[in-house]
Structure 1
């Protein structure tokens, strides 16, 4: 009786920016990859044009990509005839791949679900700080520099108790933010043109129009993808609808907001903002937003950074194990789903 044929492990290459694989994959997850795959090189490809890169692509079945990966166009696919899986250890892959990948029936997965966790946590923290009027109280305290006994004398409506909070976009991150808001006794309004009222209610929110949400909520958090239909959806008119002293939180994409109109409102001092993304990114050195006391401006750090990156790597290793075992991917992408990503 003849022995069954020996099936070699799929050959795996990495392709992303200057981060080494240790930043994305723990030692235990690297061991899992080595158990199921043959690692072509532990040094990530940072380009696909050189002869050395093309030689490695020709020997690759699984390509693990990440931030800083070059675009995978038709010429790259031609150089990688055995490629069967692109596993992106980051969020959106819209900038990375196109129809040619799906036409070749190459499987695609990404770690957007893992990246959603820190973004949602950041958004929750910003919402709680906004409801508590932390930025305003910081200004007052810095100006007066004395005990203000706010807990006894303050008669405003600071706090989260039944505060109206607006969520724009029931995206993957938007839904996770809604989950995190459940224990906090807030009244949640939601705008998402792709959703019905019944589904919104199941998520713990009341579905409303965008103008109503902007007018009614003291705190508004953006979680919509950047599409032709959502570019500058928060324009001068929508910003003008916000109440005096309201807070806008943007951890999604800078292009959702008319930057010129937002800057005018913030420079006037009428609104507050937590901005992790802007248009452009980064802002010019002379932008007043860097110094305004009513603005928290951060350099796109809401997503996975530091040790949070290894959560992304863990998801990708899980996906590769499923793929090698012939099981369905849990986070597979199609060309259609790609159009709705951030």
Structure 2
């Protein structure tokens, strides 16, 4: 990796609009190629001294002199871990700007100890996940996949009224698990619709729930009372298998479980057993393991929509996260605080 020549000044020396911090890219090869092809990294050159054609996949493989001048690290999926050893190679590093969602895969305790500022484009990544979720909710209540399969099988107009009585989106109950960034965006998208919304989140009180326009309930009540349950909670030890065999049994007949969060939040074996029985439906963008075994029924069950983690930013949507991250570098260069800064305390409540 080559870092272009240029003047490096510490963030404390900055005056508004006058400096372009020495910046290096750290990300996987495939995402870097995609961003280059989309031209998403081009705007970064106007706010930082950076070679967008070069990227880091392994800090140990980079010449020490090239890392020593780096002030801002612009990261994405596949970024290597910022260990103490890696940080020793970057004594002037002042900020990590992540042009994607979760920073848990590369930001370590050493980053916080050194007082390095961190930003994430998680808020930008929340938008397509929420849009995917909205579509899944509306399709689930309308039983679009069921009707499509029936139509494909019969090759004639199905008898919709008698067969699909009870389906539809008028005052159906939707349960949202977690008022995260994504969960709150889903709530915003649901607000104009004629749906009844339940929320479970241990960090939300009744006044805040009222402001969000939802009814705050415990998780068992939400599971048993919703036609669609959508999970937007973080992956934490206490959330592992929050939908276990007992709680999955509470789901009403014909209910749909949507998981765009993390596969570990649902006991996959217990869910598969319920789905094989045909009692419930599922939209699964994440599973545990990430890729189910080739023999898993999830691939072929008619009551399951299984996708390979595509709800988040995909294709040109990566450009939106990158542009948000470029704006953060611009703010840093002007001596302004990050608009989407992340602190160590937030990691206990984020994906």
For Structure 1 versus Structure 2, the TM-score category normalised by the shorter chain is over 0.9
Supply the distance in 1 between the matched residues of 2:311 and 2:65 (Cα, whole angstroms). Answer: 37
For the pair 1:37 / 2:55, whether they are aligned, the reply is no
Q: Secondary structure at the match of 2:74?
A: strand
| Match 2:154 to one of 141, 144, 153 | 144
What is the match of residue 335 of structure 1?
344
Residue 149 of structure 1 deviates from its aligned partner by 3.8
- TM norm structure 2: 0.91
Q: How many residues align?
A: 337
**Are residues 29 and 309 of structure 1, via their aligned partners in 2, closer, same or farther at CA, if it must alter by over 3 Å?**
closer
What is the match of residue 215 of structure 1?
224
**Are residues 31 and 141 of structure 1, via their aligned partners in 2, closer, same or farther at CA, if it must alter by over 3 Å?**
closer
What is the match of residue 307 of structure 2?
298
For the pair 1:11 / 2:22, whether they are aligned, the reply is yes
Aligned residue runs from structure 1 range 259-338, under 5 A: 259-338=268-347
CA contact (8 A) 2:41 2:52 kept: no
| Match 1:234 to one of 236, 243, 259 | 243
For the pair 1:203 / 2:212, whether they are aligned, the reply is yes
Supply the distance in 1 between the matched residues of 2:43 and 2:151 (Cα, whole angstroms). Answer: 52
What is the match of residue 192 of structure 1?
201
Residue 201 of structure 1 deviates from its aligned partner by 1.5
What is the match of residue 83 of structure 2?
73
What is the match of residue 24 of structure 1?
35
CA contact (8 A) 1:191 1:208 kept: yes
Residue 36 of structure 1 deviates from its aligned partner by 2.4
CA contact (8 A) 2:47 2:330 kept: yes
What is the match of residue 105 of structure 2?
95
CA contact (8 A) 1:20 1:43 kept: no
For the pair 1:169 / 2:178, whether they are aligned, the reply is yes
1:47-82 C-alpha deviation (Å, 9 max, x unpaired):
112143x44322211110100111110000000011
1:117-174 C-alpha deviation (Å, 9 max, x unpaired):
0000000000000010123323433443321241x54562111100001000000000
What is the match of residue 62 of structure 1?
72
- TM norm structure 1: 0.93
Q: Secondary structure at the match of 1:188?
A: strand
Supply the distance in 2 between the matched residues of 1:27 and 1:272 (Cα, whole angstroms). Answer: 37
CA contact (8 A) 2:298 2:304 kept: yes
For the pair 1:46 / 2:65, whether they are aligned, the reply is no
Residue 24 of structure 1 deviates from its aligned partner by 3.4
For the pair 1:133 / 2:161, whether they are aligned, the reply is no
**Are residues 162 and 25 of structure 1, via their aligned partners in 2, closer, same or farther at CA, if it must alter by over 3 Å?**
farther
Where does the alignment leave 5 or more consecutive residues of structure 2 unmatched? 1-12
RMSD: 2.1
